[in-house]
């Protein structure tokens, strides 16, 4: 993973044509050639309907193998096609991380009746009804799969809450009542307690649920020969469950089995507290940095670029932060929409690709495009991936000392001949900055390798160069 780059290989609006796994297999060599070292694939199991992206989970053990919910394949293809894609990626030394959705299950096979209390959506610790009987789709038979891989069947007692009363045909947040039943602790404190997100909320305090999810995690990791997982919606899941789940999987797959969690919160203290609670057993997406990039893109020249790295997870925990520009949750039209504006995306990618800290993730939508429309950023991302692979090594010196023009230097190292670079980003007018690349480089001629600036810079006797950047753009300077 050293100097590696992950790609999120999907976006929200992919067509329901069953072709993604075949496309991924065909793309493996190309991904390797451009410098992608790991691929995060979408939820690969049967959802409530074929067109679903995979987050409305139905059967975690059905990877496009059984006739269930009126389909054999998932939105992305069949199990066999998925396994072939993973084998091809491994042939090119590309790791594969599965998106694991263990917070909830969608509509079951039949309804059950049980007791609940309705809670206040804005404060889930507050009941707004007396105890009453509900009818909900919490019974799961998995008729197409039967008992293959697992004979576990889900019932109402395996959930802590549901979002729909089928008897009265109304939505709400209904907390399941019974012995040892309550919202989990160790979740985000938004809305009082953010255990419940949607659908049928898994009770991660129930020993049968924990045992079954552990069993599935080990099974799917071995069945698909996974290298890691992206853990969905962990702010809504009991923190100690996540740690023990990863311990269980790593006991079988090895300590290097990778995990990154989606904890969608821009507050660094909250993320720090979570990492402490799970004993740093999982990486986290750097949501605070994403929000900085988003704000910078919206405010334009009115944003103070000196603040771009402030409170970012990757600066405080460089070994645990996964940096990203956008993803399926932040893209336009999603519930957490905070899409970085196009003019700033090249600069945002330059920052996460070329700075020393963090594990960068490229978004499929930014590289290939959204809803079939070609991305305007493919060429610059290709260029930055190449620069990262060849030049982004060594210590980093920051020059975040101007509200409009900021920069950093990577000093290079002995293991990568010719490595080292100078990056500048401007959100306003044309800019320049004197930056030191080392006395040992005195007399070297450097050029701007993305092709925007034709002048060259000669490094002076002290190791300084006066590097240029066009307005509202980026510039990457390397030795000629």
Domains of the chain: 6-103+207-391 (3.20.20.80), 105-202 (2.40.30.140), 396-479 (2.60.40.1180)
- Whether residue 175 contacts residue 214, with contact meaning beta carbons closer than 8 Å, is answered with no
Q: CA 377, 339, 348: angle at the middle one, nearest 5?
A: 50
Q: Sort residue 133 into left (φ over 0), alpha (ψ -120 to 50) or beta.
A: beta
Asked whether 36 and 5 are in contact (CB, 8 A), the reply is: yes
Exposure of 29 in the CB half-sphere (CA atoms within 13 A):
1
* Token code pair at residue 357: 């800290």
- Report how far residue 252's alpha carbon sits from residue 260's, in angstroms, rounded to the nearest whole number: 18
Look at the pTM and tell me if it is higher than 0.85.
yes
The 3-state DSSP class for residue 124 equals: strand
- Rounded to whole angstroms, how far apart are CA atoms 2 and 120? 46
At 441, is the secondary structure helix, strand, or coil?
A: helix
The pLDDT value given to residue 102: 98
Each of the 480 residues of the chain gets a pLDDT tens digit; together they read: 568 999 999 999 999 999 999 999 999 999 999 999 999 999 999 999 999 999 999 999 999 999 999 999 999 999 999 999 999 999 999 999 999 999 999 989 999 999 999 999 999 999 999 999 999 999 999 999 999 999 999 999 999 999 999 999 999 999 999 999 999 999 999 999 999 999 999 999 999 999 999 999 999 999 999 999 999 999 999 999 999 999 999 999 999 999 999 999 999 999 999 999 999 999 999 999 999 999 999 999 999 999 999 999 999 999 999 999 999 989 888 888 999 999 999 999 999 999 999 999 999 999 999 998 999 999 999 999 999 999 999 999 999 999 999 999 999 999 999 999 999 999 999 999 999 999 999 999 999 999 889 999 999 999 999 999 999 999 999 999
Token pair for 88: 């091809």
Angle, vertex CA 193, rays to CA 191 and CA 195, nearest 5: 115
Residue 33, both tokens: 């050639």
Confidence at residue 334, expressed as pLDDT on a 0 to 100 scale: 82
Dist. CA 130–CA 149, nearest whole Å: 40
- Residue in 307, 319, 390 with CA at minimum distance from that of residue 353: 390
Retrieve residue 117's tokens. Answer: 């209390």
No. of H helices and E strands in the chain? 10, 27
Q: Residue 89: which residues within 8 A CB-CB, separation 6 or more?
A: 24, 25, 28, 31, 39, 95, 96
What's the CA gap between 214 and 225, in Å, rounded?
16
Distances (CA, A) of 297 to 315, 380, 400, 401: 20, 17, 17, 19
Non-local CB neighbours of 190 within 8 Å, separated by 6+ positions: 235, 265
Q: How far apart are CA 117 and CA 253, in angstroms?
A: 41
Cβ–Cβ < 8 Å for 262, 234: yes
| Residues catalogued as catalytic | 232, 262
């Amino acid at each position: 993973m050293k100097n590696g780059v992950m790609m999120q290989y999907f976006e929200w609006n992919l067509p329901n044509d069953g072709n993604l796994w075949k496309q991924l297999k065909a793309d493996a060599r190309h991904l390797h050639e451009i410098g992608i070292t790991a691929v995060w694939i979408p939820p690969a199991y049967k959802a409530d309907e074929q067109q679903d992206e995979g987050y409305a989970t139905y059967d975690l053990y059905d990877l496009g193998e059984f006739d269930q919910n009126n389909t054999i394949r998932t939105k992305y293809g069949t199990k066999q096609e998925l396994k072939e894609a993973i084998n091809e990626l491994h042939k090119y030394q590309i790791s594969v991380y599965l998106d694991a959705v263990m917070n909830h299950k969608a509509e079951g096979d039949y309804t059950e009746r049980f007791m609940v209390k309705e809670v206040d959506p804005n404060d889930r610790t507050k009941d707004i009804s007396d105890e009453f009987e509900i009818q909900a789709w919490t019974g799961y038979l998995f008729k197409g799969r039967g008992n293959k891989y697992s004979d576990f069947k889900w019932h109402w007692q395996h959930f802590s809450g549901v979002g729909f009363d089928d008897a009265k045909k109304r939505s709400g947040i209904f907390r399941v009542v019974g012995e040892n039943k309550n919202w989990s602790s160790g979740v985000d404190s938004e809305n009082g307690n953010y255990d419940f997100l949607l659908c049928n909320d898994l009770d991660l305090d129930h020993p049968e649920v924990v045992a079954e999810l552990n069993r599935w995690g080990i099974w799917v990791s071995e069945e698909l020969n996974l290298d890691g997982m992206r853990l969905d919606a962990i702010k809504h899941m009991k923190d100690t469950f996540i740690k023990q789940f990863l311990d269980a999987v790593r006991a079988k797959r090895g300590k290097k089995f990778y995990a990154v969690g989606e904890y969608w919160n821009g507050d660094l203290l909250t993320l720090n507290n979570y990492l402490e609670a799970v004993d740093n057993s999982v990486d986290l997406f750097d949501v605070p940095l994403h929000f900085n990039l988003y704000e910078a893109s919206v405010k334009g020249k009115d944003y103070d670029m000196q603040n771009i790295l402030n409170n970012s997870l990757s600066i405080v925990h460089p070994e645990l932060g996964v940096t990203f520009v956008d993803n399926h949750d932040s893209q336009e039209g999603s519930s957490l929409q905070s899409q970085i504006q196009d003019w700033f995306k090249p600069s945002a990618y330059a920052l996460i690709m070329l700075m020393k800290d963090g594990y960068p993730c490229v978004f499929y939508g930014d590289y290939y495009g959204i809803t079939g429309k070609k991305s305007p950023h493919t060429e610059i991302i290709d260029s930055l991936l190449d620069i990262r692979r060849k030049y982004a090594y060594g210590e980093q010196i920051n020059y975040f000392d101007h509200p409009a023009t900021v920069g950093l230097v990577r000093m290079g190292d002995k293991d990568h001949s010719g490595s080292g670079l100078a990056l500048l980003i401007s959100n306003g007018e044309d800019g320049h900055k004197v930056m030191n690349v080392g006395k040992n480089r005195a007399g070297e001629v450097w050029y701007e390798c993305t092709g925007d600036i034709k002048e060259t810079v000669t490094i002076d006797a002290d190791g300084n160069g006066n590097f240029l950047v066009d307005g509202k753009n980026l510039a990457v300077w390397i030795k000629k």
